[in-house]
Amino acid sequence: MPTKVIMGSKCIEENSALLKTYGKKAMIVTGRRSAKLNGSQDDVILALRKEGIDYVIYDQVMSNPTIECAYEGAALAREEEVDFIIAIGGGSPIDGAKAMALLAKQDIEEEALFSGQYACEVLPLIAVPTTAGTGSEVTQYSILTNDKAETKSGLATPLIFPQIAFMDARYMRGLSVKVTINTGIDALSHAVEGLLSVKASPMSDVLALKSTEMVLETVTAMFNAIETPSLEPFSLEIREKLMMASMYAGMVIAQTGTTAVHAMGYSLTYFRHIDHGRANGLLLGHFLKLVEKAQPALIKRIIDAMKLNSVDEYIELMTKLFGEKEAMVVEEIEKYSEKAMGTGNIRNCVIVPTKEDLITVYRAAFAV
Q: Is 64 in the site for ligand NAP (CB under 6 A)?
A: yes
Nearest to 144 by CA among 158, 155, 134: 155
Instruction: Give the pairing of strands 141-146 and 151-156.
Output: antiparallel
Asked if 19 and 47 touch (Cβ cutoff 8 Å), the reply is: yes
User: At residue 258, what are phi and psi to the nearest 5 degrees?
Assistant: -100, 180
**What's the closest the beta carbon of residue 329 comes to ligand NAP, in angstroms?**
24
**What's the closest the beta carbon of residue 204 comes to Fe ion, in angstroms?**
16
Q: Is 193 in the site for Fe ion (CB under 5 A)?
A: no
Q: Which of 15, 60, 63, 153 binds ligand NAP (CB under 6 A)?
A: 63
Asked if 118 and 134 touch (Cβ cutoff 8 Å), the reply is: no
Contacts of 338 (CB under 8 A, 6+ apart): 355
Q: Is 348 in the site for ligand NAP (CB under 6 A)?
A: no
Q: Which of residues 75-134 bind ligand NAP (CB under 6 A)?
A: 89-92, 95, 130-131, 133-134
Q: Which residues are 197's β-sheet partners?
A: 349
Nearer to Fe ion, 53 or 288 (CB): 288
Nearest to 12 by CA among 163, 127, 105: 127
Number of neighbouring beta carbons within 10 Å of residue 5: 18
| 161 binding partner (options ligand NAP, Fe ion, none; Cβ < 5 to 8 Å by kind) | none
Q: Which of 2, 116, 174, 342 binds ligand NAP (CB under 6 A)?
A: 174
Q: Is 41 in the site for ligand NAP (CB under 6 A)?
A: no
Q: Is 162 in the site for ligand NAP (CB under 6 A)?
A: no
Nearest to 224 by CA among 235, 214, 215, 213: 235
Q: Is 95 in the site for Fe ion (CB under 5 A)?
A: no
Binding site for Fe ion (CB under 5 A): 186
Binding site for ligand NAP (CB under 6 A): 31-35, 38, 63-64, 89-92, 95, 130-131, 133-136, 139, 141-143, 152, 171-172, 174-175, 179, 183, 186, 276-277
